Structure 1
């Protein structure tokens, strides 16, 4: 499962970097919830 989590982090890292440029707090919240949902689903 750790390998899958590392792949997920590699997949999401560019999105997380882009997230810092997003000023819309709602969009940031939705993306973070989706990220945690994917992590829980893989786990």
Structure 2
């Protein structure tokens, strides 16, 4: 999982991480959350 130290590393290096999850706690760490509904991305 991408959490804690890995998330800090991603931010420090200006990188992007794409994570697919149903975990609300992990989503709270994200700068942006996009939902997939009926096969389409919903911002």
TM-score range, shorter chain: 0.3 to 0.5
TM-score, structure 2 normalization? 0.33
Structure holding more strand per residue: 2
TM-score, structure 1 normalization? 0.33
Higher relative contact order (CA 8 A, sep 6+): 1
